[in-house]
Structure 1
Amino acid sequence: MDVNLLLTLFAGAILVLSTFSTLFQRLSLPGPLLALAFGVLIGPHALGLLRMEDFGVPQGTLLEQAARITLAVGLAGVALRLPHGYWRKNLRWIAVIIGLGMALMLVVATGVLWWGLGVPFLVALLVGAIVTPTDPVVTTPIVTGSMAEEKVTERVRHNISAESGLNDGLGYLFVMLPVLLLTEPDTAWQELLTKVLLWEVLGAAVIGVLAGYLLGKLFVVVQDKGLMEDSSYLAFVVPLALLLLGAGKLLGTDAVLVVFVGVAVFGQVIPQREEEQEDRVQDAVSRLFLLPIFVLLGMALPLTEWAALGWVPPVVLIAAVLVRRLVTVWMLRPLFTDLHDRSETAFLSWFAPVGVSALFYATLAERHTGQHEVFVYTTLAITASVVVHGLTSAPLSAWLQHHEPQLKEEEHSA
């Protein structure tokens, strides 16, 4: 592989997308969508400048590890986006959208996929579990940046961020159920309840809380004693996320959940004033870490296998992605009518895209089960979601602003 060609293509794409980020966002062309299109352009199905084989690593391994690292960095930005006291004040929203919402989205997505794709139930359950979580990376252009701050109310942005961060880690429990039923049917439920739930998920949450609290206290002490430059904040957060990712995996837990819980606790422990720098953290890492994964995915898209599927699977997959959210949010609306009005509920019921987390779980599931069709279906769902949610982000944000001008005025004057 020509390293210089790799650097030129990837760095050039990031440079262009960063330079014109505001323009692209206002044109409803967010970075993930453009990066995905660029990956297709330079990949084997178009110009053929780079191929996945050129990296010298199996495609599944490369995508899984790249997605895992991207998630860690993205989740760090999401966790730091939430202000002090957010979790305590919004406990009911989290309980509803995570506790009930994830289960309901899984049921709806699985039902649509089983009925529409005609695949075995466990395959439909696996793909349904993979596309259930809201992706924190694809939602970033919707909840951050000048357009989002101008047009989308703060509580909507914070609630989408919190949900997308927390349900990514918890999605592991949902994905492992069909994986275990496919690979170890005799002991699947025992493994799920003991190893996966008690240690990999709950253990991850405990480790994340302890690590985030201790590292947050350490951060405060070293800053108070003048041992750290203020500019070191940016250099602290990304290594923190990667440290939690690696340590969580070494301990045999759900490392993605460790990262989000750990950085969320860290963000609540450090002084409130530090959170003002969150936008700089997110802006800096999004270009360096978050966009390249979509370039890679664009290069790896199984376009030939998609073509062989016909027109029905794409329709079914995008229906599963959209309907799972629409049905869930409106069914649960009576539980949070005093939190979000009808306009905000409509916005929340639309924007639950799938992306990097789905890619991570798809490659993990394929590695465990050998079911390549899961990767084919998931990448098709990701691409459809990135296109549909990307193209609708600007007009629907403007629609929300039009329907709630008073709320935006109150936020600006606060």
Structure 2
Amino acid sequence: MPWDFLDASSTSVAYALLGGFVVAYNLISLIVKERLYMNEVVLGTVFGILLGPHVLGIFDPRSWTHVTDILTREIMRIVLAIGLFAIGVELPTTYLADHAKSLLIMVVPTMAFGWLISAAFIHVLFPKLDFVSSLVISACLTPTDPIISAAVIGGKFAVKSVPLPIRHLLIAESASNDGMAYPFLSIAIYLTTEASRETAFEKWFVISWFYQVILGTVLGATIGFLGRESYGAQYIGLALFTTGAINSLGNDDLLATFAAGCAISWDGHFNLQTKGDAFSPVLDLVLNCVCFIYIGAWLPFNQFHISELGISPWRLVLLVLVILALRRIPCLLILYKWLPEVSNWREALFCGHFGPIGVGAVFISTLAQSRLEVPQNPPSSQQDLLAIALQPIVSFVVLGSILTHGLSIPFFSAGRRTLTLTRSLITDKPDWLQWVRRVPPQEDAERAAVASANATQRAGQNPVEWLDLSIPSPEGVKIPREVLKFKEDARINTMQGIMVKEERVATAVADESGIVRRDS
């Protein structure tokens, strides 16, 4: 054959498709991200589904190896490690220490509440699974996904619409609770596999909490502090080194990687040295595209209907709706008053809604699968039922969360039209009047009076300087009697001396005659 030299293997086709998607996405990213407010999470997943074995059959990760769970787990591990390290680096300096109370509330009670609520509804919808098995599946769905959170929260619409403290809180929470999923998963696994509950709880305290979580976090932070002089190319190297070393010791590598990222940027020196470096955003984009294309092709659509286990599409859809509505929202509506970053119930509702399930859930599910025995068919024990039902349920909830949270911002922004009206006014008034910002008198009058009294007291016995602003106004333009606030760089002369302030916030109160009193 004249074309025998062609080698269109499955891996070469996969490389071409992955690279082609990244190139095409960057070409249209201006329209997709700036106009439609869509990101690589939804588009990559849909692209993977279309190319996957259940549609076009071009991209099939399960055909590459007989140990698909191991391949999937390690791909998710690398993406999570680099993503968590990046989040730790990009958070404000000493953020974990300054906001420890808020993170503790967001992580511990919120995760515990969502874990138990999700397990209860899984047990109700799939009665063949006992409550302990439901806890295992629920542990996979409990953590908030940091990759989806970073992609959505970092978008243009979220930057304009979501307050910065809430964005930081959600990003930090999503990075923290991925590692905190280990104890929730471990206790359920130990209760399933161990003969006695005493042994299960003993291993849970000693291995899961003290060894995996606490020691892993300390080791990760230590690596981060020791690597503070590493810049640029060491970015990915330190993330991979941390996750590899900590995982080899059997510790919580996800929490350790996040701790390393926070530690390396604790004093802000690392951020200053890498400011303007485009390496990290490009790396995150490529990894996110590859990861979600893989997830889209990996989704087991043929397992979304298993009559022997009571798994059916309508039950899965109902489970997704229940988890989205009850997993986080009720708890945060109760606890938001103890969160300084959240000022009202609307912001608490947004924080409760924004708890995406994605890469972390896939990783935890493959980790749980590795701790269970290979199931028999037909299943003969509760472990067999759990091993068969675990990934179909988790993967369907992941798909529902990607579509829901990935399309939330495009949905809310659909149909919105922003009209900008520009009007220029030419006047012969001084230039500093351009800085004037009008504030309703009922809103700021008391504050203006207090500021005026304080300024007069600080000036001692200095006489008050009066400014005549009764400048002829253009026809039809009048200065109303209201509070005006302006920011001024000035040297203020007084009868007893000169008070110099390079940057001064003054409060001016206008009366009917157009005379403005400026307190010195």
Question: Shift in Å at residue 273 of structure 1?
Answer: 4.8
Distance 1:274 1:397 in 2: 35
Maintained 8 Å contact 1:69/1:242: yes
Deviations 1:6-40 (A, max 9, x none): 21101111222233334323424321111111111
Identity %: 25
Question: Shift in Å at residue 251 of structure 1?
Answer: 1.4
Moved over 3 A (4+): 275-282, 394-399
Question: Shift in Å at residue 57 of structure 1?
Answer: 5.1
Maintained 8 Å contact 1:79/1:260: yes
Question: Shift in Å at residue 339 of structure 1?
Answer: 3.8
Deviates more, 1:24-33 or 1:287-296: 24-33
1:8 paired residue number: 16
Maintained 8 Å contact 1:245/1:255: yes
Distance 2:165 2:185 in 1: 29
Distance 2:108 2:277 in 1: 29
Maintained 8 Å contact 1:22/1:146: no
Distance 1:310 1:394 in 2: 26
As a proportion of its length, which structure holds more helix?
A: 1
1:236 paired residue number: 234
Q: Helix, strand or coil for the counterpart of 1:207?
A: helix
Distance 1:129 1:2, change over 3 A: closer
Amino acid paired to 1:114:
H
Question: Shift in Å at residue 185 of structure 1?
Answer: 3.8
2:134 paired residue number: 124
Amino acid paired to 2:251:
T
Distance 1:250 1:10 in 2: 30
Deviates more, 1:41-50 or 1:54-63: 54-63
User: Structure 1: 5+ residue runs without aligned partners?
Assistant: 220-232, 407-414
The two structures, once aligned, show a CA RMSD in angstroms of: 2.3
Distance 1:104 1:53, change over 3 A: closer
1:359 paired residue number: 362
Deviations 1:276-334 (A, max 9, x none): 73884542122221221211111121112114413122211331243111112112123
1:327 paired residue number: 330
Question: Shift in Å at residue 121 of structure 1?
Answer: 0.7
**Which has the higher relative contact order, 1 or 2, with Cα contacts under 8 A spaced 6 or more apart?**
1
Question: Shift in Å at residue 396 of structure 1?
Answer: 4.7
Distance 1:286 1:337 in 2: 30
1:204 paired to 2:210: no
Distance 1:280 1:344, change over 3 A: farther
Amino acid paired to 2:189:
V
Distance 1:321 1:59, change over 3 A: farther
1:160 aligned residue (170, 189, 195): 170
Distance 1:279 1:384 in 2: 35
Aligned pairs, number: 387
1:171 paired to 2:164: no
1:108 paired residue number: 117
Distance 1:397 1:202, change over 3 A: farther
1:227 paired residue number: none
Maintained 8 Å contact 1:28/1:390: no
Distance 1:339 1:375 in 2: 35
Kindly name which structure, 1 or 2, has the bigger radius of gyration based on alpha carbons. Answer: 2
1:368 paired residue number: 371
User: Structure 2: 5+ residue runs without aligned partners?
Assistant: 1-8, 307-311, 374-386, 419-438, 440-520
Mapping for residues 287-298 of structure 1, pairs under 5 Å: 287-298=285-296
Q: Helix, strand or coil for the counterpart of 2:266?
A: helix
2:396 aligned residue (377, 380, 385): 380
